[in-house]
Amino acid sequence: MSDPSRTHAMTRRALLGTGAAFGALAAAPAALAKAPLADAARRKLGGLEVAPVGLGCQWVRTPDPDRVSDYYGSVLPRSEARELIRAAVDRGVTLIDTAEVYGPLVSEEIVGHALSGIRDRVTIETKFGFDIDPETGERLGGTNSRPDHVRRAVEGMLRRLGTDRIDMLYQHRVDPEVPIEDVAGVIGALMQEGKVLHWGLSEPGIDTIRRAHAEQPLSAIQNEYSMIWRGPEEAVLPLCEELGIGLVCWSPLAMGYLPGKITAGSHFAEGDFRALVPRFAPENLPHNMALYHIVDRWAQEKAATPAQIALAWLLSRAPFVVPIPGTTRVDHLAENAGAAEIRFSDDELAALQSQIDAIPIQGARLPEGVLAGTGVEAPRRD
């Protein structure tokens, strides 16, 4: 996932189905509780096997210590966040994604408490890479993947998550001052100790992927990927296929855009990360709504919701693609899980693809400062 927490804090200082189909989903939680994911084919992320749709857990602190917020302004009690995670596991979700920087530290604490007693039913993935004090959560600025810092970060993660191992550990962003070989070395040592089982990179440069994989085989790359942002198709997706690496997609529903939570006239409140995203700016959003209208038409034709169509399309891209949508609502968990049951014929996929291709999206996918940390190549050893 991206690291919008820094920009989100700046925002606070300077500046979130179609009707009939969704109604049916909301009215039938008992049927959905049997988890379409439980019967759907598992997907491989390197040596890991997970259900097709995961859950992104990305919350930040609020002035009330008993409540947290997502990055779009929705606030909920910590107890509800924990219940949401347990509900996801009950519905067959097996991949739970979080990160040290989300909060910071808060999201890992919530995940750890939520999974108490059911930890062995899930795959936990979390991320290091920013210069954060792992004890206090204080942001010290920039990235930090020095081996000694990575070790300290992992010890803090294990404690907050209440576990003895991290199933998938990502470098959240490539550190432009630390060779990726040094990072792979400390990860390899942590693997030998049993504290980390698999590892991956988030939003890395292509050469860095190859070098990291050669040093210590990667299980997954995590990138933004959705109908509105298809950048991974150029190089990341083919490279994952070549090397046998999974692709975990953050923001697969485009920050609420693809489910229809954003309209041409949407204005985002202070503290809503989307207020900083160029593709949602007033001069771009009306143009970009054309893509949503396509998704909405397909949802009606397939008796599904727009969110399900967007996720099903991602699942159709490759058998090693796994989206990790976040949500604050249990009914949306069920809706997202249902995407694994949707099938497209070859002709339908070709038609949908041609319609998506015909819509040029205006505006960058992330604020300039956040975007600068993506696609970075790690330095080489002297």
Which residues form the catalytic set?
102
Paired tokens of 40: 């759907």
Q: Which residues lie closer than 8 Å to 289 by C-beta, 6 or more apart?
A: 263, 264
- H helices of the chain, in order, are 4-14, 19-27, 29-32, 36-39, 78-90, 106-114, 147-161, 180-192, 206-215, 236-243, 285-301, 306-317, 330-337, 346-357, 368-371
Amino acid code (one letter) for 261: K
* Residue 287: burial class (beta carbons within 10 Å; 0-12, 13-18, 19+): middle
Distance CA 13, CA 288 (A): 28
CA 204-218-336 angle, 5° bins: 75
For 115, the 3-state DSSP assignment is: coil
Q: Token pair for residue 82?
A: 């924990």
- Which candidate, 44, 40, 42, 1, places its Cα nearest to that of 241? 44
Cross-strand pairs, 97: 56, 125
- Which DSSP category does 150 fall into? H
Question: In sequence order, what are the residues at sequence separation of 6 or more whose Cβ sits closer than 8 angstroms to the Cβ of residue 88?
Answer: 55, 96, 333
Region at 129 (left for phi over 0; alpha for psi -120 to 50; beta for the rest): left
Q: CA 328 to CA 33: how far, in whole Å?
A: 17
Letter string b/e over residues 198-235, b meaning 16 or more CB atoms within 10 A of that residue's CB: bbbbbbbbeebbbbbbebbbbbbbbbbbbbbbeebeee
End-to-end CA distance of the chain: 31
Query: What residues have CB less than 8 Å from 74, skipping those under 6 apart?
Result: 16, 328
Rounded CA Rg of the chain: 19
